[in-house]
Structure 1
Amino acid sequence: MHFIITDAWLAKSRAIHLSGTKLLLALLGLSLALMLSAASLYHWVFLTGAREGWPVFGTLVRLVTKDEFEQRDRYMRENVEAMARKVGEMQAKLLQLEALGERVSGLAGVNPAELRTTPGRGGALVSGHPLTVDELRQALADLDQIADHRVDILTVVESRLFDQKVRTLMIPTQHPVTAGHLGSPFGWRIDPFTGGSALHTGLDFQSDPGTPIAAAAGGVVVTQAWHPQFGNLVEIDHGNGLLTRYAHTSRAYVHRGDLVKRGQRIADVGSTGRSTGPHLHFEVLVEGIPQDPRKFLDAGANLQRLEVAAARPAVPPVVQRAGR
């Protein structure tokens, strides 16, 4: 395609040759320029009409944005309803946690009513109308307050249970000698040296020399010394006026002031002091008064049997069908 361009006085002329490719590119460029100009003009007119409230453009704006607003509102409403269901589930779980906390509080000797400083709110989140964001925010704030209160209760219960556990560990209920048999019991007997009646203030565990002796409970070693009658003696203070005595030992592994735990090896069986043979003389004193150690050791054995029974899986009862 040829174009001839001349000026107004026909003094000059210029010929332009356009091939098919150049003509196509020119048409595409012109079309793009027209589209951009039309879009810019439409955008300017549309925004101006919507901002100034022209009747026709205002109606168009409402028609265009109505569906978008409805979709956004529906999306937000669905999200709020889903969050409300989650809040209801959290409230139900908090109720279960409250019931569990009350049962554990009873085991710890804590009255849950004394720990309720604020009235609790519970139950599923049910409303007769669609929930608003403010209502959902208030429900979350209530849940946060209830959760803090539950944490306070369980913290107190944990402290009580820990105290009970410590007190249990400080009571001499573990056998000090596992390899051996019981000799002289607690009570009146014939003294083997004098032949007269005498009060035997402990238990004698006959065993081989060198047999390990374990602490019957945790505590502090208050005595590790030689005694004319008890020989090589170890005494442990368990607090609350409780003291255990381990006599006639051949060797001690602890010293005065040491902290020992339940079951720790503190000495070996021997025959030192006023003794007729290798054995452990074991005493339990409460406020300095000798007690029968059997009461403590039997209580520990019973507690251990209960713990073993509780750890066993429950066996479902066998249902027998009556014959026809």
Structure 2
Amino acid sequence: MNIILVSRRHGRSRTISLSALIILASLLLAGLIALGVMLTLQLQSRGGDGIIDPYAVSQWQKRISGQEKELARTREYTEEQIRALTVKLAELQSRLTRLDALGERLVDVAELEDGEFDFAVPPAVGGPETDTGDYNPPDFVTALDQLSSLIDDREQQLSVLNSLLGDRKIQSATFVAGRPIQRGWMSSRYGYRNDPFNGKVAWHDGVDFAGKDGSNIVAVAAGVVTWSSDRYGYGNLIEINHGNGYVTRYAHCKELLVDVGDVIKKGDVVALMGSTGRSTGPHVHFEVLHRGKSVDPAKFINRVAQF
């Protein structure tokens, strides 16, 4: 396609092709663009502004400063978390130490054989390894929380067990059984008998064990001494409270070896045999009282604890 141009002045005409016109317009537009770019660069150079102007630099510096502060806060938070985890680990370690001590006490109370439960060494483990596949272990904090919960549960269980075993041991220790002497023989039984001083029938609240003057008198159960002095008719008397309503008495003693308030164990020597008070010779008058009333000591002398 061609365009015909007609001159008014000379009346001549000129023919221009459309493709040439497009090329000319493109050249003109490129020139204008280049001129605009040159003018922009010149204005920037005159104003002292480069591609990276001071405002952009200041903004970047602000961003860097903010990032540094955020990094500092993150570091401080991380250090606090590490300190908290350290404290938590120390707490768990102390609780495990207490559990080990409690476990050793339970082994002792339960009278288990040596080596059956040794809390001084790690527990024995073993077995073949298996593929865990895509197993993802819990995070560190969650693992600590789970361990803490497990320790709480074990503490409660061991405390209950310790209480039960302690009660059982206390019951066994305070169980009234046995003879109050190490050597000697029973010289008078519980109940009615002829009074050795006037021959009349009289009630005898205990049993008598005769023996060598000065021989040992032992407690038949653990307990607390509630009397250690002279008492009318008894001479020198030891009285022991064993709990559960049981009290034992050891009378006519030559010498008292314990005081009121002393805690004694089964088999402890509490006095020496004598003949003080209303007595005809060296012996120990042995009484058992339950809730304030005398009972026949004979059934306690030969009985065996069922624990």
Which residue pairs with 1:189 in the alignment? Answer: 193
Aligned partner (choices 215, 218, 224) of residue 220 of structure 1: 224
Post-superposition Cα deviations, 1:171-193, rounded to whole Å, max 9, x if no partner, equal 32242201111121222222222
- Compute the displacement of 1:248 (Å): 0.8
Which residue pairs with 1:262 in the alignment? Answer: 266
- 1:288-307 correspondence to structure 2 within 5 Å: 288-299=292-303, 302-303=304-305
Aligned partner (choices 171, 175, 179) of residue 179 of structure 2: 175
Task: Write the distance in 2 (CA, Å) between the matches of 1:269 and 1:237.
Answer: 20
Task: Write the distance in 2 (CA, Å) between the matches of 1:255 and 1:147.
Answer: 44
TM-score scaled to structure 1, two decimals? Answer: 0.49
Aligned partner (choices 200, 211, 214) of residue 204 of structure 2: 200
Which residue pairs with 2:136 in the alignment? Answer: 132
Task: Write the distance in 1 (CA, Å) between the matches of 2:162 and 2:171.
Answer: 14
Task: Write the distance in 1 (CA, Å) between the matches of 2:229 and 2:138.
Answer: 74
Structure 1's unaligned 5+ residue stretches are 1-103, 108-124, 308-324
Contact 1:174 1:263 in 2 (8 A): no
Task: Write the distance in 1 (CA, Å) between the matches of 2:130 and 2:151.
Answer: 20
Contact 1:234 1:252 in 2 (8 A): yes
- Compute the displacement of 1:220 (Å): 2.2
Matched, 1:150 2:154: yes
RMSD: 3.2
- 1:1-324 correspondence to structure 2 within 5 Å: 129-134=133-138, 145-299=149-303, 302-303=304-305
Which residue pairs with 2:43 in the alignment? Answer: none
Say which SS state the counterpart of residue 169 (structure 2) adopts: helix
Aligned length: 182
Q: Which has the higher helix share?
A: 1
Q: Could you tell which deviates more after superposition, 177-186 or 161-170? A: 161-170
**Percent identity of paired positions between Structure 1 and Structure 2:** 40
Q: Select the structure of larger CA radius of gyration.
A: 2
- Return closer, same or farther for 1:128/1:219 CA change in 2, 3 Å cut-off: closer
Task: Write the distance in 1 (CA, Å) between the matches of 2:226 and 2:282.
Answer: 24
Post-superposition Cα deviations, 1:192-230, rounded to whole Å, max 9, x if no partner, equal 223222222111111110111112222222222222311
Contact 2:181 2:217 in 1 (8 A): yes
Structure 2's unaligned 5+ residue stretches are 1-106, 111-128
- Return closer, same or farther for 1:128/1:259 CA change in 2, 3 Å cut-off: closer
Contact 1:174 1:262 in 2 (8 A): no
Say which SS state the counterpart of residue 193 (structure 1) adopts: coil
Contact 1:229 1:273 in 2 (8 A): yes
Which residue pairs with 2:126 in the alignment? Answer: none
Letter aligned with residue 189 of structure 1: R
- Compute the displacement of 1:143 (Å): 6.5
Task: Write the distance in 2 (CA, Å) between the matches of 1:234 and 1:218.
Answer: 13
Contact 2:178 2:302 in 1 (8 A): no
- Return closer, same or farther for 1:126/1:134 CA change in 2, 3 Å cut-off: farther
Task: Write the distance in 1 (CA, Å) between the matches of 2:261 and 2:154.
Answer: 41
